[in-house]
Amino acid sequence: MEITNEPILSPAKFVLAVLDDFPELVSMDGFDIQDLAEKHKLRVPQIVNVPGSEDNCYCAQFYSDGELQLGVPC
């Protein structure tokens, strides 16, 4: 196993990307932050075929039944 600085650099790069939008941080929404987290490998989306059972799962609101059956990132 190779030891790298990625566990340290990924969060730092994420924070710097968020701060790049300063002072207009209000223009960022949750999707922007999720995209940045994915880009910097802090969030790994999973492909799902059914909405989650948690109250905060919004897949059914954003995707049609057909899209869900094919698989969508969650």
Which domain covers residue 62, as residue numbers?
Answer: 45-74
| pLDDT tens track for 39-58 | 988 888 888 888 777 677 77
Do 31 and 9 lie in one domain? The reply is: yes
Do 34 and 64 lie in one domain? The reply is: no
**Residue 1: its pLDDT value, please?**
55
Do 36 and 51 lie in one domain? The reply is: no
Do 33 and 54 lie in one domain? The reply is: no
How far apart CA 49 and CA 26 sit, in angstroms, is: 33
Residue with the larger pLDDT of the pair 2 and 12: 12
Q: How many distinct structural domains can be found in the chain? A: 2
pTM as predicted: 0.58
Do 31 and 56 lie in one domain? The reply is: no
Q: Is the pLDDT of residue 22 over 80?
A: no
Do 5 and 30 lie in one domain? The reply is: yes
Cα→Cα distances 52→32, 73, 74, Å: 22, 12, 9
